[in-house]
Structures are given as C-alpha cells and as structure tokens.
C-alpha cells in the first residue's frame, strides 16, 4: 500500500493534513446501496474515509446490473449490502467496511439509537415519511445527515443538521487583509523610512505598492480634512495622484498600486456578516458552548478592545513587485502584527474557558491560530428541520420559484419528487412503475401534485403536463449517469461537513437532467 501522503497527495493539497485526518476518523452510514448510494460511497472510500456501514435489506436482481458498477453477475440473488460492501472495500483496503442486511425504514422505526454511533448518515432513496423520522433522530443524536435521491432524469441533495460552523470557508474571492485603509503604527513607521520620491529609477520601481498606497493615502488625508477618498470623483483623483508619482511608464509597482487602490477605499471595521456572527445569541457562552462559539466570544472582546473595531490581522501578503529587502521586511511586519493579535485572542479564550469552568488549555493553540487567521471568513450554516420545510415552506420563495421561468422546472421537480411519495403511499407503487397503467398514473399524479400544492398554500398553481408525464415515464428508475452525478454532489458535501472546510450548500439542490441544469432552492 502507498504511503498516505503519496496516496492522497492531490486531496491533501485541497484540505490539508487536518482535513484528511478528520476524514480518516469519520464513520459513515449509508442507507440503501443502489447506484446513488454506491456512487456516493465510492467517492468517499477513494478519499480515505475511516469506516463505512452499508444498510440495505434487498437482494441483487438482474436489473441491478444495468445501473450499479458495484455489482456483477455473481452478485445476483445475494445480499446487495454484502456485495456492494465487498466491491467498495476493494477500492481502498485502508477503509473499514461492514454491512447490515436490513431495510433502512425498519431500522429507523425500531432502532433509532443505532444511528448515534456514526459521524454522518447518507440516506439515499428514502420516501418522505422516513426522511422526517430520520431527521429528528439524527438531530437529537447530533449526527450529520445528508439526503440524496435520484429519480429518472432528476434528483436532489439536502443537508440537515442544527448548525455547522466553518472556520476555513476558503472563499474563491476575498479582499487581502492589508489594512491600507487603517495602517497600524509599525506599518506606518516602516512606510516613513522609505522615500517614494527617490531619484534612483531602480529603487523607485521596486518600492512595494503597499508602501506607495500607505504614503499616498496619508498625503491625501492631510490635504482632504482627515478623510480617505469616498466619492467617485475622489477615487478617480486619488488614482490620478498615483499616476503623477510614476517616473517611467514601465513601473509595475505603480500599476499594481493603481489596480489595488480600491483596498484603500474599503470601509473600516468588520463585515455585516461577521457582525451578525459575533452578535449571535450563541456568543453568550456557558460550559456547554462549543469551541467555535467560545472563540467567537473571545473575538468579540478583541474587536471591541485591542482590535479597535477590526478582526485579528491574517498576517500574509500577496506577491508584488518589490526589492527582496522591502518585501521581507514588510512580511515580517504583517506576521508580527498577526502574532500579537493571536496572542491577545488566545489569552481571552483561556480566560473565558476558565470563567465557564473548563480547562483553560481545552482549545489548542493551532485551533485558535487558524480561527484568528480566518476570522473575517467565518461562516455559520443552520438548517430547517425537513418536516418544517415540507409542512411550511417559505411562502414568498415558493411562489417566486413557481412563477420564475428560470426556476419553474427545478421547483416542479421538487414538488413532483414529493408528490410521487404521496402517490406511492396511496397506491402502493410509484407512478409509471408498472406497464399498462401510465395514462391512469399521469392523471393520478396530476391530482396528487395539485393537492400537495394546495396543502403548501399555493392554490391555483399547476405544473406543466410535460413534467408530470416525464415523472410517470421515469417509473422511479435510478439511471446510472444521474445517480453518479447526484452521488458526486452528495460526497462533495460530506467532505465539506467532515473536514469543516468550504461552505456546504444551504437549501435543497435539484438536478434537472433534461436541461442539464441544477439549482439550489431555499425553502
């Protein structure tokens, strides 16, 4: 077997050793191992998840061979859970794999405490009633839960848990934390030691843009009543001022300064989103508070006191045109400020822990350091109970989706995926499941869908005939291509939840295989 660092090299570059360690400690329970469930687990097994438990009470039929790569001819007649488990184990011997030959619905009904042993449950192909019951069970046991289902050319993925706090949200685009609009004393003092009007052309073109902007901003403030540029005219004038300081047209550092000038215009202080987090009721901590909220409480104190309205400095600077000496000195100044901020936050965390009767060393230095570095990017996700969503969807959103041309197919599939479960409860089969009944099933499904819309407060709303006909044409089939796509989305969300990196999706993800579109519905 390959060494873990070599084996998981590509993914380690994405979520690092801490993320990989979290995956290797996680235990996953899969409910139903048809193609959607098998494809989800395949991705997690290849990624090095700690252990998997496959729950399925069915036997392999000949039809299963056409849509599930985790089965072959020798599997026919055998336990599906056993066969899929064996195939998945072959993909990665380091993963502990076991199976239980039982129908998930029975387990949900008779043994709810069974699920508390897992880190996360992936529930595939469950009907509405079982989804509601499982959601309650997992929330009470603080077990992460993901629902996934493929149905003909459509499918959905939905995360359900009380709260998920992300420190390493890793947004694609985020403003560098350079504090050009609010430089601290050490940065100001360093800028004062550098003459940006130096006659030497080589030195002039190797002055880092951070210093140029700090000095020009200071010059601007002195001549404009103590305030930074705010109006469009002011900003334009500020850029013109930068251009006048250029000695030659090929000075990349000044071009960088002009391009980065918007960082000087950025408002002081923290974002409204971070303000919302530090004002959250959970930031009023007690002995039962999570590490995350204890650190948020310390952050709140820091911002109000030592931070002067700002979050701890991140401490890194981007690449820029500069002499090596200036760049290294600048780097040290940013790192020193970040370290000083971290030490203050760390002390506040220790004091809070002591105050609430917990071990002051309960939260590691590394964790607090990561928190400080990512303080501006913290994210908290909360999810509605699936029962609440099903019974009381957010009316304005639902009405908007039903009337919006871009969302009508996605919300139509959402309604119909629920309507087919009602249909199955009433008629003991899914629409179109048996030959010869399709015309009757179309009429019944239409009536069921209209009834469901009425129950959701959308009287008078209808779904297109084409969409209803499509759902009946599917006959509850799991197509491998759709199952693989849904499984890919579900496994990606599993990794986000377990590593606590990147922001998991909020809402119900609907895949529309007819138009090759996907949408996230917030209901």
Q: What is the pLDDT of residues 25-41, one digit of tens each?
A: 999 999 999 999 999 99
What pLDDT is stored for residue 1 in this prediction?
A: 45
Find the mean pLDDT for residues 166-178.
89
pLDDT of residue 228: 86
Residues present in the chain in total: 523
Confidence of residue 2 (pLDDT cuts 50, 70, 90): low
Half-sphere exposure of 255 (CA within 13 A, CB side): 7
Q: 41 with 28: CB under 8 angstroms? A: yes
Cα 238 to Cα 207: distance, rounded to the nearest angstrom: 18
For residue 52, pLDDT over 90 is answered with yes
What are 433-470's pLDDT values in tens digits? 887 778 899 999 999 999 999 998 887 778 889 999 99
* pLDDT above 60 for 3: yes
Closest CA to 14 of 61, 36, 38, 47: 47
Q: Where is average pLDDT lowest: 140-144, 239-243, 435-439?
A: 435-439
- The reported pTM is 0.90
pLDDT over 70 at 256, yes or no: yes
Distance of CA 87 to the CA centre of its chain: 30
Q: Is the pLDDT of residue 173 over 90?
A: no
Torsion of CA 301, 304, 306, 307, to 10 degrees: 110
Cβ atoms 457, 477 nearer than 8 A: no
Q: Is the pLDDT of residue 342 over 50?
A: yes
Lowest mean pLDDT among 200-204, 341-345, 370-374, 518-522: 200-204
- Partnered with residue 83 across adjacent β-strands are none
Give the separation between CA 39 and CA 391, rounded to whole angstroms.
31
Residue 4 has pLDDT above 70, yes or no: no
Render the burial of 107-129: b for 16+ CB within 10 Å, e for the rest: bbeeebebbeebbbbbbbbbbbe
For the cut 90, the answer to whether the pLDDT of residue 311 exceeds it is yes
Mean pLDDT within 404-420: 92
Looking at residue 457, its pLDDT comes to 86
Contacts of 88-94 with CB under 8 Å at 24 or more apart are 88/38, 88/41, 88/42, 88/45, 88/52, 88/54, 89/45, 91/42, 91/45, 91/46, 92/45, 92/46, 92/48, 93/1, 94/1, 94/4, 94/48
Convert the pLDDT of each residue in 283-296 to its tens digit.
Answer: 999 999 999 999 99
Average pLDDT score over residue span 379-385: 95
Give the three-class secondary structure for 505. coil
Mean pLDDT of the chain: 92
Q: Which residue has the higher pLDDT, 488 or 458?
A: 488
Residue 122 pLDDT more than 70?
A: yes
Lowest model confidence (mean pLDDT) among 136-150, 243-257, 300-314, 476-490: 243-257
**Which residue in 252, 158, 159 sits closest to 209, CA to CA?**
252
Residues 184-197, mean pLDDT to the nearest whole number? 93
Between CA 412 and CA 510 the distance in angstroms is 10
């Amino acid at each position: 077997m390959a060494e873990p660092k070599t084996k998981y090299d590509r993914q380690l570059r994405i979520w690092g050793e801490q993320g990989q360690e979290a995956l290797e400690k996680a235990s996953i329970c899969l409910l139903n191992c048809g193609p959607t469930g098998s494809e989800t687990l395949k991705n997690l097994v290849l990624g090095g998840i700690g252990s998997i438990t496959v729950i399925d009470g069915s036997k392999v039929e000949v039809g299963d061979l056409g849509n599930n790569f985790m089965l072959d001819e020798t599997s026919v007649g055998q336990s599906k859970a056993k066969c899929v488990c064996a195939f998945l184990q072959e993909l990665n011997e380091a993963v502990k794999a076991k199976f239980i030959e039982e129908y998930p619905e029975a387990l949900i009904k008779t043994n709810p405490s069974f699920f508390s042993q897992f880190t996360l449950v992936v529930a595939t192909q469950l009907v509405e009633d079982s989804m509601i019951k499982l959601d309650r069970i997992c929330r009470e046991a603080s077990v992460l839960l993901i629902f996934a289902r493929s149905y003909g050319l459509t499918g959905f993925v939905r995360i359900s848990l009380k709260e998920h706090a992300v420190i390493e949200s890793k947004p694609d685009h985020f403003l560098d934390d350079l504090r050009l609009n609010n430089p601290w004393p050490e940065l100001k003092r360093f800028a004062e030691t550098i003459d940006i009007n130096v006659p030497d052309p080589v030195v002039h073109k190797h002055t880092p843009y951070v210093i140029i902007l700090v000095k020009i901003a200071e010059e601007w403030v002195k001549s404009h009543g103590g305030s930074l540029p705010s109006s469009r005219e002011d900003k334009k004038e500020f850029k013109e001022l930068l251009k006048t300081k250029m000695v030659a047209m090929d000075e990349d550092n000044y071009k960088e300064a002009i391009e980065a000038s918007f960082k000087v215009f950025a408002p002081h202080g923290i974002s409204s989103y971070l303000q919302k987090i530090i004002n959250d009721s959970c930031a009023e901590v007690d002995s039962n508070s999570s590490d995350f909220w204890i650190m948020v409480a310390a952050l709140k104190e820091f911002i109000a006191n030592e931070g002067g309205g700002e979050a701890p400095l991140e401490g890194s600077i981007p690449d820029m045109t500069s002499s090596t000496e200036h760049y290294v000195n600048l780097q040290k100044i940013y790192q020193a400020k970040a370290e000083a901020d971290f030490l203050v936050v760390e002390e506040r965390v220790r004091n809070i822990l002591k105050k609430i009767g917990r071990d002051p060393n309960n939260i590691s230095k590394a964790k607090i350091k990561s928190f400080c570095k990512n303080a501006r990017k913290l994210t908290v996700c909360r999810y509605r109970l699936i029962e609440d969503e099903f019974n009381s969807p957010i009316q304005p959103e639902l009405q908007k989706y039903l009337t919006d041309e871009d969302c009508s197919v996605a919300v139509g599939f959402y309604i119909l995926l629920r309507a087919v479960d009602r249909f199955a409860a009433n008629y003991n089969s899914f629409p179109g499941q048996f030959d010869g009944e399709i015309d009757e099933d179309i009429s019944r499904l239409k009536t069921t869908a209209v009834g469901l819309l009425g129950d959701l407060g959308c009287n008078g709303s209808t779904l297109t005939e084409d969409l209803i006909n499509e759902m009946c044409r599917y006959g509850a089939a799991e197509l491998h291509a759709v199952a693989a796509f849904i499984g890919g989305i579900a496994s990606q969300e599993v990794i986000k939840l377990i590593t606590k990196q990147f922001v998991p999706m909020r809402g119900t993800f609907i895949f529309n295989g007819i138009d090759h579109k996907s949408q996230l519905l917030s209901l």
